[in-house]
Amino acid sequence: MSYRDIEFENDSVFLVTGGAGFIGSNLCEAILNMGYKVRCLDDLSIGKQENVDLFIENKNYEFIKGDIRDYDTCLKASDGVDYILHQAAWGSVPRSVEMPLKYNDINIKGTLNIFEAARQNNIKKVVYASSSSVYGDEETLPKKEGKEGYPLSPYALTKQVDEKYAKIYADLYNLDTYGLRYFNVFGRRQDPDGAYAAVIPKFIKLLLNNESPTINGDGKQSRDFTYIENVVEANLKALKADSKYAGEAFNIAYGGREYLNDIYDILAELLDKEDIRPIYGPDRVGDIKHSNADISKAKGVLGYDPDWDFDKGIKEAIDWYVKNL
């Protein structure tokens, strides 16, 4: 079943935290297209106003500029809301190594504020963004829920803590929480700029500008790249999950495995930039070498059935960047 066929109660209101960000704005768009009301909470520290400007004229859309680190803001933003899709966080492993205090403040305190506000406002379900980084130094492939290792970065630790708080809120307070462990999401509106930009949009922009991207390490590291449409599907299907699974976390990926060197070659070919060769730099501190997801739990429990593989997704992504950069 496509997420477009999912039905919620009439007049349902959804709060999307981090709604002006890459994943958040795609969630806002999908929910609005389904005819429901969306309240977007974002402090625009990472999210961009331009990502949500296209919703301004929609009568079902409301934007609140606010910081999840402020509990009163979270309480007010979630008042009168039925469901919360909590995407607000700071990503990037290397940046977290440089700024551990900020990551603790935003990713842990901010998430705890959302959970507590959800409890006080009797929110029906909270789906929150976790990360494949929670697997840490556990080298077994594919990654499977229940076999987590020791975190390799402050970012990974914040996501592990978020999951533990989610379980506590489910067990102690009967708050329906569901964690989605995203595996290298890519697609439209993902920011290509900055030192901590994700690899795919960064590579695309540099190649379009006839510049050589830098691959950290030898390029033989692998990732389970996941197109944004699959992530939207997972979030909306998690909102329909049976409450007996509250407090649990799920791998959200396609279930494939792509190597960075191959990714580069594919992008160069599709963009007709095969004459541009990459530069190889040092490994990034805190990065895992390989990542590949076992998605059987999400399939069985959530009905998650991703149909956007890497080849299909990368063509859509390139088309968007060519039109919008």
- Residue in the structure block whose two tokens are 């006839």: 210
The model's confidence at residue 284, banded by pLDDT at 50, 70 and 90, is confident
- Residue 155 annotated among the catalytic residues of the structure: yes
Those residues whose C-beta lies under 8 Å from the C-beta of residue 175, and which sit 6 or more positions away, are 115, 118, 119, 123, 126, 169, 246
10-187+225-255+288-308 is classed in which CATH architecture?
3-Layer(aba) Sandwich (3.40)
Report which secondary-structure segment, H or E, holds 185.
Answer: strand 185-186
High-pLDDT (> 70) share of the chain, %:
100
Q: Which entry of 36, 83, 128, 155 is annotated as an active-site residue?
A: 155
HSE value, Cβ hemisphere, 13 Å, CA-based, for 277:
2
Query: Which residues share a beta bridge with 42?
Result: 65
pTM above 0.75, yes or no: yes
The model's confidence at residue 252, banded by pLDDT at 50, 70 and 90, is very high
The model's confidence at residue 225, banded by pLDDT at 50, 70 and 90, is very high
How confident is the model over 229-244, as pLDDT tens digits? 999 999 999 999 999 9
How confident is the model over 138-151, as pLDDT tens digits? 999 999 999 999 99
How confident is the model over 263-279, as pLDDT tens digits? 999 999 999 999 999 99
Q: What is the pLDDT of residue 1?
A: 62
The model's confidence at residue 300, banded by pLDDT at 50, 70 and 90, is very high
Number of neighbouring beta carbons within 10 Å of residue 308:
19
From CA 185, how far away is CA 24, in angstroms rounded? 12
Scanning the chain, the segments in alpha helix (DSSP H) are 22-33, 49-52, 71-77, 93-98, 100-103, 110-120, 154-173, 199-208, 228-238, 260-270, 296-302, 310-324
Task: Look over the chain and give the mean of its residue pLDDT values, rounded to a whole number.
Answer: 96
Those residues whose C-beta lies under 8 Å from the C-beta of residue 244, and which sit 6 or more positions away, are none
